[in-house]
Amino acid sequence: MNIYAKILLAGAAWVSAEASAWGLHKAFVEPTYRDIYLVQPMLEGRKIRYCLEVSDENRVRPSSLDQQVRHALGIYQRVLTQGVQVPNSNFEWVDCASAQLELKVRIADTETATNLGEALPVVERRGGRRYYQITLNPSPRSSSFAGGLTDTLEIFGFRFERFRQSLGRVGDLISSDPSAFAIRLRVSLGQVQASTWPLLLHELGHAFALCDTYSAEIFEQQAHPEHQHNMGPLPRIAGIMGAGGHLNLGPDDVEGLSAARRLVIGEPIPTPRRR
């Protein structure tokens, strides 16, 4: 085992033994806005209609973004519905003007943007559409990554299957570690962390009610006090909702999704895992 693998194993052991954090968004817990999040429609087996709004197709191809959105939705669906007898949701790319819309994914320069990604539930005043919106900002003011947002699939020559096989396993922080991913593909860590896939997967976590775990202040603002779990002080590297840029869901993301499922369908609360 090389030294890098030993460091990863040691880090993962620390994470699994000490760090554990998930929280559900306050707006999701309130029944008024719960249906805007993707948890309930997916547990009901409803079709998830999404649209894509790409301001610069030279930076990110719509067809590439479509593949990533569908794959990310599939990952969340498998985890969310595990052990539950519900029909699988179908995913459909529709026009952003569609009367029926559950998710809008935007790649657009926003003058006031301070982060690479933003996520929020939307209730339109005109027409009354209710959907979840994710925005990836190519060049936000706070970004420390030279060149801003890039398309993850470009690293693979836009070969989706090769990309899919490189993501690591759900719940495994070692196999989905972005540093190992970058070394394997001979690209910079920044190029991976500032690319579409980890950012999309992170922001989509908010659409499934998961809170950020990379800041104690932000976690407190987002998480409902009765629907959270925080072992020790944040920030923590707690999977995709942390700041590590992981390429798949970590164990804490999985536990957060289980909590969201219990809130919607009333499953009994399991015995807490020992540490």
Distance separating alpha carbons of residues 94 and 159, to the nearest angstrom = 24
Mean pLDDT in residue range 82-103: 92
Least confident span in 48-57, 106-115, 132-141, 197-206: 106-115
Mean pLDDT in residue range 224-228: 94
Task: State residue 15's pLDDT score.
Answer: 44
At 238, is the pLDDT very low, low, confident or very high (cuts 50, 70, 90)? low
Over 80: is that where the pLDDT of 3 sits? no
Count CA within 13 A, CB hemisphere, residue 212. Answer: 19
172 near 125, Cβ under 8 Å?
A: no
At 84, is the pLDDT very low, low, confident or very high (cuts 50, 70, 90)? confident
Task: Write the CB contacts of 220 (distance below 8 Å, at least 6 apart in sequence).
Answer: none
Task: State residue 16's pLDDT score.
Answer: 42
Instruction: Output the six-digit token pair for 221.
Output: 């603002």
Give me the residue spans of the domains in the chain. 3-140+152-265
At 266, is the pLDDT very low, low, confident or very high (cuts 50, 70, 90)? confident
Quote the pTM value. 0.88
The pLDDT tens digits for 8-24 are 333 443 344 455 789 99
Over 50: is that where the pLDDT of 275 sits? no
**CATH entry, 3-140+152-265, from 3.40.390, 3.20.20, 3.30.1490, 2.170.140:** 3.40.390
- Amino acid identity of residue 261, one-letter, is R
Peptide bond into 225 cis (omega under 30): no
Mean pLDDT in residue range 244-261: 92
- Could you report how far apart the first and last alpha carbons of the chain are, in Å? 26
The mean pLDDT of the chain is 85
| Best CA proximity match to 72, nearest among 122, 117, 115 | 117
Task: State residue 107's pLDDT score.
Answer: 92
Over 90: is that where the pLDDT of 141 sits? no
Least confident span in 105-119, 158-172, 237-251: 105-119
Task: State residue 117's pLDDT score.
Answer: 87
The pLDDT tens digits for 96-140 are 999 999 999 999 866 556 677 899 999 998 889 999 999 998 876
CA distances from 70 to 51, 142, 157, 252 (A): 11, 29, 19, 22
The DSSP-derived string for 117-144 is: EEEEEEE-TTT--EEEEEEE-SS-TT--
Q: Which helix (H) or strand (E) holds 41?
A: helix 39-43
